[in-house]
Structure 1
Amino acid sequence: MNALVENTQDTAALDALAGSDVLVPVPDDADERDAADPTAVALPVLDQPGGEQVVPVFTSELEMAELLPSVSRYRLVPLGALASQWPSDDLSLTIDASSPHGLTLSSEGVRTLLARPQI
Structure 2
Amino acid sequence: METPANDHPVTPAQRALDTLAETPGAADNTSALDTLASSDVLVPVPDDASDQDAADPGMLALPVLEQQGGGQVVPVFTSELEMADLLPYVSRYRMVPLGALAAQWPADDLSLSIDAGSEHRLTLTSDGVRTLLARP
Structure 2 length normalisation: TM-score?
0.85
Aligned twin of 1:65: 84
Tell me the C-alpha RMSD between the 2 structures: 0.6
Where does the alignment leave 5 or more consecutive residues of structure 1 unmatched?
Answer: none
Q: Distance in 2 between matches of 1:97 and 1:60?
A: 12
Aligned twin of 2:128: 109
Query: Which digits, 9 at most, give the CA deviation of each residue in 1:43-67, with x for residues without a partner?
Result: 0000000001000000000000010
Q: Distance in 2 between matches of 1:101 and 1:32?
A: 32
SS at match of 1:8: helix
Aligned twin of 2:107: 88
Aligned-residue sequence identity (percent) comes to 73
SS at match of 1:29: coil
Report 1 or 2 for greater relative contact order, CA contacts < 8 Å, sequence distance ≥ 6. 1
Aligned twin of 1:21: 40
Q: Distance in 2 between matches of 1:64 and 1:8?
A: 24
Q: Distance in 1 between matches of 2:131 and 2:59?
A: 21
Q: CA deviation at 1:8?
A: 2.1
SS at match of 1:77: strand
Q: CA deviation at 1:113?
A: 0.3
Please point out which of 36, 39, 49 is paired with 1:30: 49
Q: CA deviation at 1:19?
A: 0.1
Aligned twin of 1:2: 18
Q: Distance in 1 between matches of 2:37 and 2:30?
A: 10
Q: Distance in 1 between matches of 2:28 and 2:51?
A: 39
Q: Distance in 2 between matches of 1:10 and 1:40?
A: 31
The answer to whether the aligner puts 1:99 opposite 2:118 as a matched pair is yes
Query: Which digits, 9 at most, give the CA deviation of each residue in 1:25-48, with x for residues without a partner?
Result: 000000011100101110000000
Where does the alignment leave 5 or more consecutive residues of structure 2 unmatched?
Answer: 1-16
Larger Rg: 2
